[in-house]
Amino acid sequence: MMKKIGLSVVLLGVAVLTLTGCFTKSSRRFIEGKAAELSKVYPTENLEDLFEKFPGGFSIWSEDLYDYKEEGYMFQSVKLRGDGETKQIIGTIVSEKVTSNGTKAPTEEKIYEGGVVYKDGRIQLMDPQANATIKNPKLLLQEFTINRKTLSKLKMGRKSYSFETGSANINYTLTDPILNNYMRVEQDKELKMIFYIMSGTVENKAYSYTLDIKDGHNSHSELFSGYKEKKYKLYND
């Protein structure tokens, strides 16, 4: 009988500790603290400096949805990969025009697809003769500062931690000179800033985040992942 009681007490204790851990991970303090760890890379004016922090290389996926209207919008995706061995930062770009078709699926027209390279502090087309334009030759990562002190002063919207996936997110409403300039909007216009934190990052097993800036339907997002060891091949390998 005493053994059963003892076992029940142990199981109850484990359950309480588990629940406490889950509730802690859903708190603003915890999620905001994880988001603030982006201070490791935001800002990094010269992307080549990221190799010092991530010797295995890194990947950056930047997406812009812009010129949104009822009839459609423009979309551009830039994927960069930094190779820890060669110290090259190259990738791909895709630009599309998306047209709304009422209740039907929107029509996607590819405007341009090609290679890009990071050089002289900017993202540049590999083909200098290409009839295309990179919307944001410099990443927000190169200009915007993120730290816990700044985040703690912002007006928080929603936050959540998923018990199923182990991922978390938190969003804020703000005006910021750098963000507003980057999004090409008035200085007094409020923007929405969302941090998506992957499960491996929450558990301190990886370093992977998505930062999403929204101006109504228009948006700019950057997914950053840093590696201690090489995880991928370069664009033209």
Whether 18 has a pLDDT exceeding 80, the answer reads no
Q: Is residue 83 included in any domain, yes or no?
A: yes
Instruction: For residue 96, give the nearest of 120, 74, 114 by alpha carbon.
Output: 74
pLDDT of residue 1: 54
Residues 57-87: tens digit of each pLDDT: 999 999 999 999 999 999 999 999 999 999 9
Q: Is residue 87 included in any domain, yes or no?
A: yes
pLDDT of residue 11: 41
Domain that holds residue 106: 31-227
Q: Is residue 148 included in any domain, yes or no?
A: yes
Count of structural domains, the chain: 1
pTM value?
0.87
Q: Is residue 17 included in any domain, yes or no?
A: no
Q: Is residue 56 included in any domain, yes or no?
A: yes
Query: How buried is residue 93: exposed, middle or buried, by Cβ count under 10 Å (0-12/13-18/19+)?
Result: buried
109: CATH: 2.50.20.40
pLDDT of residue 101: 85
* Structural contact between residues 145 and 43, judged by C-beta atoms closer than 8 angstroms: yes
Q: Is residue 3 included in any domain, yes or no?
A: no
pLDDT of residue 63: 98
Q: Is residue 190 included in any domain, yes or no?
A: yes
Q: Is residue 13 included in any domain, yes or no?
A: no
Helix (H) or strand (E) holding 215: strand 207-215
